[in-house]
Structure 1
Amino acid sequence: MTEPFLTIVSNPQNWPDIVLPVFTQTLTCSFATLTRQGRPVTNTLIPYMSDDEKTIDVSTGLTSPTKAERARNNPKVALLFADNVTGQDFAPVVLVYGQATVRDADLQANTDRYVRLSLAKTHAAFSGVPTFLLPLFSWYFARIWIQITPLRILWWPARNTERPPQIWEAPANLEAPPSDPGPQHHIAGGAPTPTEWRPAALHALQALRSPVLTTVNSQGFPSPIQVKNAVLSQEGFRLDVPAGMPALNEGPACLTFHTHPRKFYGQENKSFVGYVSSNNEREAIFTIERLLPDWSFPGSRVEATLHFLNSGRFLAPRLQEEARLRRQPVPKVRLQHTKASKGIP
């Protein structure tokens, strides 16, 4: 495994020791939320450990708050740690069912924290960018944090998802704190309009990794699992489901493909929503309804950087509007509040 970005010292929630390095070292995880209609949506995000070591935190840009609003409306969420890009071939696959707490009452503090943590964990993405230019990227660094309090943790040692998982349960009286009050209004959209799904599905099969299928379990949580194989069909995909993963409930589903380089300077995602049914215990039929928009930064380091820089041109007005809706000024990128003030590693 790679060198830890953070070492858990006290483990106040008594999480299993085997999962602690996964929480601190994994570069990406699958974050699953539910829409108001109860349909699952899964995004690939970068996880961070909270300062008090009681929650696993992910963030979303202030300019793309939809996933945070889903978590604020329905705090039942899930995290799947199945990323083995960073040399964690023998680390367990970990699935966390938890309760979300959305934090956007102090956008400046959120931004200061994200600058500090992201430049440490994904410094390759900013390698070669002069430090004096970083304050121009407030559209990217301005963040909403989503804290996940684990209620149930499942893990599969040595990534063997054909066998039943080991399970940790939180104490029955454990409660997550409430979310900050949401903005008065929520702006829909903000991402490119999706295109016809079949070309994207073909690309996902050829260029991206094994997908994550998310359904809704009997407790009302989104339940993401990593499938072993996907085959394109006329209506969507036929999926090979590992025997040890949680059982699938037929109904609304989301299928997400993802990849990123070992040194994180960009990423590519393709997510589809639709419905899942089952032929048998080992095969699921995913019927695609539509392709979701995404914020991929694919290609070489230069291509990913140019894509990143161009995104700021049309996101600046949205940044101002989202801050206004929360009755706060647009946060600034303050490098003097982080270790990054000495330069990017």
Structure 2
Amino acid sequence: MNGKASAFPIEGYVALYLLAYLPNVIITKLVTSTPHAGLGRPLTGLETLPASLIISTVLTYLFIWWSGWHRDANGVQVAGARIPIPTRYTFLSGIGTAMVLFTVPLSFTFEGVSIPFIQLLMRGDILIIAPLVDIAFGRKVRWWSWTALVMVLAALAIAIGDRGGFNLPPLAILTVVLYTIGYFIRLAVMTKVSKSGDPASVRKYFVEEKVFALPLSVAMLAAISAVGFGDQSGQLGWGFVSVWTDPVILPLFGIGFTLTVVSVFAIIILLDPRENAYCVPLERAASLIAGVGGALILAWVWGLPHPRTGELIGAGILIVAIALLSLAPRLSQRARAARAESV
């Protein structure tokens, strides 16, 4: 990512994002669905997430140092070393990102709630927010973005209707609410300060946001567990302490590693200079497809519940939406170029 603009297309980053997200979904669901040898039951999200988030924090800090991205960030000198710190805007975005960081993997762990359904539910409200943020900041929303938005909302409606309603446990409802608030905060800040297309601004934003958001996400998770919200609470000790000497730490490392990779590709996609109503559906639809693909693999290979028909129909609609988002801008550019040449 050197120079003013990256030659690698945004759809390529979306493909890499999807490939990294798929194993994250599979490992997370397996760890929270397979009985643990010592406990005699599957681990809950509040038992697995602390270690995976801490691992992701360490790996992200190592990436920031190894890649040199920290040089583009705002920083202060401490004992002869330059330490990246957020600006007021990336600080605010970090709060929103912290909410997203722990709610997304937590959403994969609820018993009786399929991965495709919870993903469709969490992404639907975000896709409503995206064009509204564009309009609020005076950015043009093109017809193909509105069309893709309608298609994704239709997929959401089909999945909810096929399931017969929401029927979510309290902690799942809290997860959806915190995710939506966090994503809105993050998207609003990105639109205001960093959707310029400059690779240096992407690196700066990633570093300043993550150095604050990752430890905050761990603290938020600890707070939810400590206050006793929902029937998954009270597992703070095992999730933060006992897990480090348990064999399950190996798959949790895999979750933390893939989460780190996904976060890098996600920031590149979301900070693309095009409108949010283009970038957000592209990134969100890719994560939905990874969720559905992961659910199918889990059903075929490990015998977990198969996705419902409505969820698969919704995934098909999303594939069409992604094709529209990829092809329509290029066809529009060619049409404008042809008209210009004919004048």
TM range (shorter): under 0.3
TM-score (norm 1): 0.24
Q: Which has the higher helix share?
A: 2
TM-score (norm 2): 0.24
Q: Based on CA coordinates, which of the two structures has the bigger radius of gyration?
A: 2
- Greater RCO (Cα-Cα under 8 Å, separation 6 or more): 2
